[in-house]
Structure 1
């Protein structure tokens, strides 16, 4: 029996793009990725706990297998995209102080300079 799940908009955009590129339905793309993920997690060359240790700085990335390093890099990109609470506070304060930066006519300017 089919079930319904909630997927955030950002991930749905990625699924939609990949589904279109691979000529799959949205459900087909998700099913494909689930199968890949299950295969990877069952592989003797892949240990998710080691990736978590590397992402938290407890294990050097060089100690990971090639497959684990790929997942580690994906994890780094995910972390970089979302940012930390401290980063959000830092940039909110900069914006409040008028220290944000923008691009105007190909040159980096202060946020207050870009409003014109």
Structure 2
């Protein structure tokens, strides 16, 4: 009997993805590639693993760019694509620190919008 490679001996496990948009994309790609949803996700999992292990991809550099320690233009095309995806996700939702900051502002007078009191000047007088 031939022993399948490690990546073919993956245990069956049910994983729920709450991202409906991602699942729609998986279903669409699976249909285009004549794969089941499971086969499409497995395919992308193996591709992602291969990319991360590639010499042209260093996830630590992506993290450095996310932390503003490295300019994104210094990343390889693969690293940049990963950085852009992660950056977009991060910008789409405020962090816990940002939420706390704006909640604090809301509670203080700093966050309130104040208008200048209206001053009525007698006709003919200058406000200068």
How many residues align? The count is 96
Q: 2:18 — aligned with what?
A: 9
Off by >3 Å, runs of 4+ in structure 1: 5-8, 89-96
Structure of larger gyration radius: 2
Task: Identify the structure with the greater strand proportion.
Answer: 1
TM-score by length of 1: 0.66
Distance 1:26 1:91, change over 3 A: farther
Distance 2:98 2:73 in 1: 27
List gaps (5 residues or longer) in structure 1: 100-116
TM-score normalised by structure 2 residue count: 0.61
The answer to whether residue 72 in structure 2 is matched with residue 65 in structure 1 is: no
Q: Which residue is 2:53 aligned to?
A: 42
Q: Return the structure number with greater helix share.
A: 1
Q: Does 1:88 pair with 2:99? A: yes
RMSD: 2.6
* Stretches of structure 2 lacking an aligned partner (at least 5 in a row): 1-9, 112-128
